[in-house]
Amino acid sequence: MGSEEATSPRFNNTFVRPVYFYLSGFSNIPHITYYYVFLCFVYIMTVIGNGLLLSVIYMVKTLHTPKYMIVFNLALTDLCGSTALIPKLLDTFLFNRRYIVYEACLSYMFFVMFFGALQSWTLVTMAYDRFVAICFPLRYHSIVTKPAITAMLLFSWVFITCQVAFTIALIDRLSFCGSVVVNSFYCDHGPVFYLACNDTSLNNIMAYAAFLLFICFPLVLIAITYVSISIALSRIASTKERLKALKTCSAHLILVAIFFLPIFGTNVAAVTSSIHPNARIINSSLTHTIPAFLNPILYSLKTEEVLNSMRRLYKQNAPAEPVVSTLSACSECNEATSAACN
């Protein structure tokens, strides 16, 4: 059955639930297999990098601080989000298994949306941590505490779970009486509900609500925190102190730019004008994968605390030099010294 001919089975005259959807992916791009191989490489490095970062934070007691609780949550979110998306994507397009059953499609959609939204709000929590550290340095340890950060992160998990679950549950009320070809590389929310034959106004409202809650509102909050940070830094006389404070924010700012700008631009372009499906797919796939790939690099290579912790772990686990060889060397040294004296 060709993708153009894929249609839904009709259960009755008023409601149709498809057995499967067909993921179209890219159209008319030569050598696209290389792109999927690139995503495979990105996924492998994402698993290694985030797994290493999670292990270091877990094993080193000095990193059990509110700041690294947030970093741990971000690394876990990146690892789970990439795992929810990339392996299925590779299976779909590298092995040409583009048909996905209805229930699996909704589950796929839930996990990709959930971890994407969770990454967004984790970046907001990180911005809050930097805001308090720079604007209220003397009160930092009394404001940013483990219980406070735990409550913020837990609220994010619960709220996002409820919102995303409700958004996807609304798809179950739709009737798909025409094509079941999803013009995306995964079961994306918009391309799926656009296929429905009955009223999708509520789904459209929830799509806008998700965009505001998970993209626009977090971006505004992060912008406000950095405006406040800039004002606080402008009052510092020493340029050296300003640069030192900005250095602590650099990794977070890079992640914010990489995560928010492409997805914000794609969604705005999709609403205000027409955007080619291939461009949307490339932009969306990179937005879901590159930040997760860069997160452990930024927080390992640009953060002195993590680097020092990794060095200490390496030294602790490095094999000790054999005592016998050391004693033997000392014995030979003593014998040589004795012979020289005689």
Tokens of 256: 């914010």
Residue 109 within a domain? yes
Strand 99-101 versus strand 181-182 pairing type: unpaired
CB within 8 Å of 200: residues ≥ 6 apart: 174, 193, 194
Structure tokens at 94: 């590298």
Answer yes or no: is 284 within a domain: yes
Q: Assess if residue 8 is contained within a domain.
A: no
Range of the domain at 74: 20-316
What are the tens digits of pLDDT across the range 51-99?
Answer: 999 988 888 888 889 999 999 999 999 999 999 999 999 999 888 889 9
- Write phi, then psi, for 9 (nearest 5 degrees): -70, 145
- Decide if 337 is inside a domain: no
Residue 161 has pLDDT above 90, yes or no: yes
Tokens of residue 79, six digits: 């690892």
- 9: which DSSP letter? P
Per the CB < 8 A criterion, the answer to whether 262 and 286 are in contact is yes
Q: What is the CATH number of the domain that holds 285?
A: 1.20.1070.10
More confident residue, 297 or 331: 297
| Res 103: pLDDT | 93
Q: Is residue 9 part of a domain?
A: no
Q: Is residue 257 part of a domain?
A: yes
Measured CA distances, 144 to 20, 141, 147, 229, 276 (Å): 47, 6, 8, 16, 44
- Give me the phi and psi of 179, to 5 degrees please: -70, 150
Write down the pTM of the prediction: 0.83
In a domain, 321, yes or no: no
Question: Taking 60 as the threshold, does the pLDDT of residue 3 lie above it?
Answer: no
Strand 20-23 and strand 181-182: the pairing is: parallel
Position 326 confidence tier, pLDDT thresholds 50, 70, 90 = very low
- Among the listed ranges 95-109, 141-155, 162-176, 242-256, which one has the minimum average pLDDT value? 242-256
Pairing between β-strand 99-101 and β-strand 20-23 as defined by DSSP bridges: antiparallel
Give pLDDT, residue 8: 52
Q: At 100, which helix (H) or strand (E)?
A: strand 99-101
User: Is 237 part of a structural domain of the chain?
Assistant: yes
pLDDT at 254: 87
Q: What is the pLDDT of residues 260-315, one digit of tens each?
A: 888 877 777 766 666 777 777 888 888 888 889 988 888 766 677 776 777 777 77
Q: How many structural domains is the chain composed of?
A: 1
Confidence band (pLDDT; 50, 70, 90) for 329?
A: very low
